[in-house]
Structure 1
Amino acid sequence: MADIKFEIKETVGVLSESAKGWKKELNLISWNDKEPKYDIREWSPDHTKMGKGVTLSKEDLKKLWDVLSRLKL
């Protein structure tokens, strides 16, 4: 498996934290030196390990915002 290169450009916010210190975060990340995208996933405390997540373009994030804003919470 090829190494995946990433750089966290901005931590937008932490959504939750587990008892073991892993945090579910919304970050702006550049994957393999490409244009940064928004990303939601769990990270180990030192950001050396990550869980599965979802990566969103700015347009995807805007549409998600529209969908979430219609929820009655």
Structure 2
Amino acid sequence: PVWDTETTQLFRTRFKAVSPKRVDTPGHGMGNRFLRAGVEVDRYGRAVAYHICEDDFPFSGSGRWERIPRELPT
């Protein structure tokens, strides 16, 4: 979710759709116990964060990943 500060509408929360193909382990690596297919989990297997690859990597992107926490800080 994103907080839109420039809107005049009542609700300012916006959601951005992300292609599931972009959720991946950074560097297209194997992952480990706490990082599976781009989803970072805690010791109980609960999702903690998602790793999103920049568009079109490896074809025209830069190969950068952004870590998106499951919950935004309050």
Larger Rg: 2
TM norm. shorter chain > 0.5: no
TM-score, normalised to structure 2, is: 0.31
Higher strand proportion, which one? Answer: 1
